[in-house]
Amino acid sequence: MTIACLGIGVGGSASVAIGDAFLITNGPICVTPSWIKVEHIEDEVRRFETALQLAAAQLRGVREQIPGDTPSDIAEFIDTHLLMLEDKALSSQPITLIRSEGLSAEWALQQHRDALIHVFEKMEDTYLRTRCDDLDHVVKRIMSILLEQHDTHFEELRGHIVLAEDLTPADVILMKNQGIAGFVTDYGGPMSHTAILARSLGIPAVIGTRGATTCLQHGERLVLDASSGVVLADCDNDMLAHFAKRRGADIARTVELRRRGVEPAVTRDGETIHLMANIELSEDVSTALVNGAQGVGLYRTEFLYMNRVGPPSEEEHFAAYRAVVEGMQGRPITIRTLDLGADKQPGSRTHSGASGNPALGLRAIRLCLKEPELFMPQIRAILRASALGPVSIMLPMLTSTWEVEQTEHIIHQAMAQLEAEGFDFDRAIPIGGMIEVPAAALNARAFAERLDFLSIGTNDLIQYTLAIDRVDEELNYLYDPVHPAVLRLIREVIGAAAAADVPVSMCGEMAGEVRFIPLLVAMGLRELSMQPAAILDVREQIRHLDAARLARTVDRLFESFEPIDPLALFDELPPIH
């Protein structure tokens, strides 16, 4: 009898994986209380410090292997762990315990870990409680080095489907390099760091099964169907052959789509949909071009500020932007100003009054306007890059037109400085804004009248509208991109842009999900920006659509205030797989 586990499917173009299960136990490392002789105390301190250094070296090695088209959240996740390793709050107390009480390095670390976890668990704030998981990941990495258990199991993973309670992004990168066929986890959500990375790396995965590690066995042959979120065990030969054929068809289809990737995305009734890429590094440009991106709709610039002592100089900004502008060979580039703040401070800089909830704290345009000395070098560099090709400026997390006015004032100051210094730049550079806060969506007409373009950032818009943390697996069931309230806000923004005759695009994860494309086209969006890996499938879906017919159908979505499945309105569309 076939055994099935259900979860959330994520991954790349090949949605099916077949392989033997490899069970990884993620339980706590058992540490036996132990003490050391006085004459060995300093040796034990050095052993602990060496373990810290090796753990940091491992994480830096993982960070260097992150693909260029991976969202910034992944690198930031690993940077957070690196910062924890460097924080005296983690390292100093175990050393004190070794010296004052003669504890072994392992036992001292375990004692300190338990004390910190107790503090985290008492916190009421959900975000701060999740830092408990980060602490555990870091402690386990140090502990496995002290116990000489680190990473040896990864060498046996080629061709296997990994089963685990949960996986960190660092784990996934290491396993990808070992050639895993796919992975299954008990926990996790569709917007978790691990899920985002699986999509970027093209690894078939099913997450959040809530029990795969208990009902599936190490070594048994599994079929993983990421398109439906199903994991099957004990399949007969006919079923295995069926899924093997599906996997082969997926791979062949991807090859074919890449072959014709430069063809435009035009609906059957002649509507052109512009497909742009979301990027973070200059290395992302080649992937965007291979997949046929018509430009960059969102250039995230936070990577320049991360994992360093101080903020980047104007010249560092300019060098990065120049590489992207030149690499895109005349295609338009939209550069988002830095979206830092609260939990993502540049380098070692930390606000003493940082918000307990960073999503609602001093971040993005709020931080830039509060500290123009941080903002001005970036604005100057963007303006200088605009002399090399078509560049636009996009402002994140707008809530008030006052923020637009203040930013324009800073931009005009920068223009005056550059002109006096003899630099070339585009004096009519377009300035746009991300609409990702409900207040901005409801007041979109005011923004459309002040800005040259709007871009809908659905990742934050959804979480702010529905009052949920989008990476909190306990709230996965509430993260609904097609919730009636979310769709009404999106429609409000599209209508405001049309009334003001300014372009509007979407640059959130929603724009790169094939199942939502008919809905977005029906609502009137004609520019979508997404991770480069999603462009091929989205383009293919668009070629099957009749935009005019979809537009006549979409009004039915807003006849009810109850959630409905928008795909039900478009069920006559041919499948893309």
- Whether 193 is catalytic: yes
- Whether 235 is catalytic: no
Residues ≥6 apart with Cβ < 8 Å to 550: 518, 521, 522, 570
Cα dist from 546 to 523, 541, 564, whole Å: 13, 11, 21
Distance, CA of 459 to CA of 497 (rounded, Å)? 20
Burial group, residue 373, by CB count within 10 angstroms (0-12, 13-18, 19+): exposed
Cβ atoms < 10 Å from Cβ of 420? 8
Burial group, residue 95, by CB count within 10 angstroms (0-12, 13-18, 19+): buried
Cα dist from 356 to 125, 128, 362, 439, whole Å: 7, 7, 11, 21
DSSP string, 360-424: GSSBHHHHHHH-HHHHHHHHHHHHHHTTTS-EEEEE-S---HHHHHHHHHHHHHHHHHHHHHT--
Q: Which residues pair with 393 in a beta bridge?
A: 335, 431
The catalytic residue among 81, 112, 193, 317 is 193
DSSP string, 30-43: P----B--GGGHHH
Residues ≥6 apart with Cβ < 8 Å to 274: 265, 294, 295, 505, 526, 527, 528
Active site residues: 193, 507
